[in-house]
Amino acid sequence: MDAETETTLDAIGPRLRALRQERGLSLSTVADRAGLSVSTLSRLETGRRKPSLDLLIPLARTFRVSLDRLVAAPATGDPRTDLRPHRHASGGVVVPLTGYPGRVQVFKHILGPRAPRLVSHEGHAWLYVLAGTLRLLLSDREHLLRPGETAEFDPRTPHWFGPADDGTVEILHLFGPHGDKAVPRVTH
C-alpha cells in the first residue's frame, strides 16, 4: 500500500472518534446503531483495525454523513463535488456552490427562524426558493415567496430574508459584484 493511502486510512479512526464525540454519543450507542460490536468500533477509532466499506457504510448511515466525510477523500477543486457547509454569522447554514472570487457566487442557504435585521451592501442579489416560504424585507416592503419563486434586488436597498414562519426555508442565493446581473438567454 502506498504512503498516501496509508495516511488516508490512518486518519479515519480519529475522524470517527471526533464525529462521535462532537455528537455526544457513546461507543456503545454508535456501535449498536451501526450494527457493530463495541470492540470493533473502538479498534477502528484507535487505528488497531483498518477500515473497510462494510464497516464504514453503516457508520456513515448512523452519522448521516457521506463516506467522503469519513474518509476525507482528496478535494477535487470543484466545489459542487466538495461541498463544505458552514454556519453563517447571521444564522443558518450556507453551502457554497461556486468558487470564483470576483464573479457571481452561488450558495444554498438553509435558514431557521431569526429576528429581522436590515442590512445593505454593494453588489446584486438573486434568490430562488427551494423549500418553505421565504420572507423578504426590502426597506419597508414585505414579500412572501414560495418554492419556485424568485426575487432579484439591489442589496444597497436595506434588506433581510428568512423563513416566514417557525420552520426553515431553503434557497439558492446568487450574489454578484456591483454591476453584474444575470443575462436571460431563454424566455417563454
Same domain, 59 and 100: no
pTM of structure: 0.53
Instruction: For residue 151, give the CATH number of its domain.
Output: 2.60.120.10
Does the structure show a pLDDT above 80 at 12? yes
Which pLDDT tens digit goes with each residue over 55-94?
Answer: 999 998 998 888 878 887 555 455 444 556 667 666 677 7
Instruction: Give the pLDDT of residue 123.
Output: 84
Which pLDDT tens digit goes with each residue over 13-72?
Answer: 998 998 898 888 999 999 999 999 999 999 999 999 999 989 999 998 998 888 878 887
Q: Which one of 42, 71, 100 terminates a domain? A: 71
Which pLDDT tens digit goes with each residue over 120-147?
Answer: 988 888 999 999 999 999 999 999 999 9
Cell of 60: 456513515
Domain that holds residue 57: 3-71
Q: 154 near 124, Cβ under 8 Å?
A: yes
Instruction: For residue 62, give the CATH number of its domain.
Output: 1.10.260.40
In angstroms, rounded to a whole number, what is the distance separating the alpha carbons of residues 153 and 125? Answer: 5
Same domain, 91 and 167: yes
Does the structure show a pLDDT above 80 at 8? yes
What is the average pLDDT across 164-183? 78
Query: What is the DSSP-derived secondary structure letter of residue 47?
Result: T
Instruction: Give the pLDDT of residue 85.
Output: 67
Domain-embedded: residue 188: no
In angstroms, rounded to a whole number, what is the distance separating the alpha carbons of residues 40 and 29? Answer: 13
Instruction: Give the pLDDT of residue 22.
Output: 84
Domain-embedded: residue 182: no
